[in-house]
Amino acid sequence: MKKYDVIVIGTGAGNIVTDAALDSGLKVAQIEKDKFGGTCLTKGCIPTKVMVTAADVIRNSEEVQKIGIQSQKMKIDWDVLSKRVWQKIDESKEIVEEYKKEKNLDVYQGRAFFVRDKVLKVEYNEGGVSEEITAEIIVLAAGARSRRISLEGMEETSYLTSEDIFGKAWPLKPYKSLIIVGAGAIGTEFAHAFSSFGTKVSVVQFEDRLLPKMDRDISKYLGERFADFGIDVYYNQISKKISQKDGEKILSIEDKLTGEIRELKAEEILVAAGVIPNTDLLELSNTSIQRNAQGWIRTNEFLETSVEGVYAIGDINGHGQLRHKANYEADILVHNLFPAALPPGQVAEGIKPERRFARFEYIPSVTYTYPQVSSIGLSEEEARKQAMEKGWDIRVGYHHYSSTAKGYAMGFEPGDKEDGFIKVIIDAKSKYILGVHIIGAEAGILLQPYASLLGSGRIEHLVYEEDIASEETKKARAMEYSRYLDPHKVTSITEAMTAHPALTELVMWTQYFVPMK
C-alpha cells in the first residue's frame, strides 16, 4: 500500500487544497477521471459565460435605439465563438501538464474508488488498476454530473446534456431549432444564448415557472422577457417520449394539470434536468461515509464526513452546486489544515489561526440570462413561511433601474418591459436583511455588496450534522464560539464569497494576485 499525506479526488476546487498541501511540503496524490479543472472550466460555467457574453451583446444591441444609437442587426461569428470556447476548455491540458511537473505530487488519471475506509484504488483511464493508496487526509471533490432522464424511445433517438455540448457534440453552427428540457440555471442560460444566436428555442419545464429556486417575482419577470424574445416556454410539463422523423427530433410532452399531450419538433434536444453527485463512482458502500436521502455526502460545518480525516467539498456534498461555494469550502480546509499556506498577512506569524467553519445561508448565485438574475438569502415565500417561528415582521422593498440616474442614462424608463429591479426582504424588528434578489443589467455585480455585508461582522457558529464530529470539532462546539470579520480588514474580503465567474472577482481576488510588500 502506498501512503500519502493528502489525497485529493477532483481537480476543480480540489486544486486549491492540492496547491496548499504542496506549499506545506506534503506528499500528495491527485486523482481525476475527466479533464483537469473541474466542471466549471471544462463543461460548465466558464464556457457558457463565453457564449452568454456574446449573446448579451446581441440582445443589448437590439435595445440601444432608446439612447440614440442606430445599430444594424448583429449576428454571431460561430467560428470565432467556438475558438474562444475551446481555447478556455483546453486550458485543462495545460493544468495537468503543470501538475505532472510537481516533485511532491503523484497524478492519477482515472476513477478513484474506495475498498474500505480511507483506502482507495484508481481504475486508470488507459486500463488497469493501481495498488491501494491511503492518507491521513482525504478530500472528496469529485463533483456531480448531469441528471439523465428516462424517455420512451431513447434506444433509437438520443438527446444531449451540457457535457455533450462541451464535448464531442459541439455544434458546427447554431441549431436551427432547439428544445431544452429544464429551466434552472443551465437550461435558461442555454435558452438565452442560442435564441440570441438565431435558434428557435422551446423550453419544457416540469415546474410552473422558470428558475423555480428563485423568488417568484424574479421568475415571473424573466418568463415575460423570454416571451419578448420569442422563446416558447411550456410549463407544468412531463417529458414522455423522444423520436425522430424527417431529420427532426420529436419530444412528446404531457401537461400535468390537463393531461393534454403535444409534440414539439426541433433539430436537437438538450436535457438540463439538474445534476446528481458522483458518489456512486467512489463506491462509498465499501466505507462508513454517510450520504443523505438524495445521495449527497453528509458533511458538518468543518466539511468533515462521518469518517474522520475524510472531507467533502463542492457539488458532491449537496450544500449547493456552485463553483464559488466549492472554492469557499476549499479555503476553509486550507485555513484549518494547512495554515502555513495562507496568504501573507492573513494570520500573524507563529500564531495558529482560529478554526474556520462554513455557513450556507448566504450563498450568492448569478444566472446569466438576459436580463441577468442574482440572488442571496431567502425568497419572500421562504421568509414568510419562517416568519412565525422566527418572530419576523417581513417587509419587502423594490427599486427599479429607471429610478436611478444611471438607469435612465442606460435607457430604462418607468413602466418599460426592460426595466429590471432589486427586491430586498428584511425583518422590520431587527432590521436584518433576509434576502436580496435582482433582475436586470449586471445583476451579478450589483449583488456583491450584499454578499460582502452578509458575510462579514459577527459570524455565529452554527452546527451542521451534529452526529458528525471529530475530537477537535467536539471541543470547538463546546466552546460555542463565533468569529468576527472586521469589514475594515482584508480577512473580510478573503473569506467572503463572490459569484464565479463574475467581474466581482477582479476586486475580491486582488489579494491573491498583487504581491504584498
C-alpha 11/C-alpha 38 separation (Å) is 5
**Bridge partners, 438 (sequence order):** 374, 422
Q: Which element (helix H / strand E) includes 381?
A: helix 380-390
Phi and psi, residue 140, nearest 5°: -95, 110
511 C-beta neighbours (distance < 10 Å), count: 15
316 C-beta neighbours (distance < 10 Å), count: 25
Distances (CA, A) of 226 to 57, 171, 189, 193, 202: 16, 23, 11, 12, 10
Owner of C-alpha cell 493544468: 95
C-alpha cell at 71: 445599430
Distances (CA, A) of 447 to 200, 420, 430, 434, 492: 31, 14, 22, 14, 16
The amino acid at 121: K
C-alpha cell at 89: 476548455
- What residues are designated binding site for NAD(+)? 182-189, 274
Distances (CA, A) of 87 to 47, 217, 438, 440: 9, 38, 32, 29
C-alpha cell at 374: 442574482
Owner of C-alpha cell 453527485: 277
From 380, 361, 360, 371, select the one nearest 444 (Cα to Cα).
371
Contact 132, 122 (CB under 8 A): no
- What residues are designated binding site? 49, 182-189, 274, 315
- What residues are designated binding site for FAD? 49, 315
Contact 228, 239 (CB under 8 A): no
Q: How far apart are the first and last CA of the chain?
A: 45
The CB-side HSE value for 483 (13 A sphere, CA atoms) comes to 18
Contact 205, 223 (CB under 8 A): no
C-alpha cell at 16: 486549491
Query: Beta strands 119-124 and 28-32: pairing type?
Result: unpaired
Q: Which element (helix H / strand E) includes 295?
A: none
